[in-house]
Structure 1
């Protein structure tokens, strides 16, 4: 996750999305989830389809984690300094 100065919104880059997929779900399982798990919050698209259509990685990450009941304490991986980008 990236900070852009005080008071400005933190964003999630696509690279960060994929790092979290690998860390939170494991590379093989995570890649399968992204390509095959349909997300109600994203009009029943998969995460991969939503990203291809221009959805913000942060929004896709939240939708994926919400649909799989990933708790906030593990949603952001193992790095204690990683800061979650805010929800919209």
Structure 2
């Protein structure tokens, strides 16, 4: 998954403002105690990060 698609899905799911806030501030155990931004900066695959977000936030399967 390209980062542009990842961020598009984040904005669609959480809204323009909250997607960025969530990515910067929400530490996730699914990402090894990292935020979304930290995981991406550390080289995690965007698709793996998206899956972790979906799991943690219980995003319905139809929107994953």
TM-score tier by shorter-chain length is over 0.9
Aligned structure 1 segments of 4 or more residues deviating by more than 3 angstroms: none
TM-score (norm 2): 0.92
The offset of 1:52, in angstroms, is: 0.3
Indicate the structure (1 or 2) with the bigger Cα radius of gyration.
1
Tell me which protein shows more strand as a share of its residues. 1
Coordinate RMSD, CA, aligned? 0.9
> Structure 1 or 2: larger helix share?
2
Structure 2: where are the runs of 5+ without partners?
Answer: none
Figure out how many residues of one structure are paired with residues of the other and give that number. Answer: 64
Structure 1 unpaired stretches of 5+ = 1-11, 76-88
Structure number with the bigger relative contact order (C-alpha 8 A, sep ≥ 6) is 1
> 1:2-81 counterparts in 2 under 5 A?
12-75=1-64
Please give the secondary structure, in 2, of the residue aligned with 1:44: coil
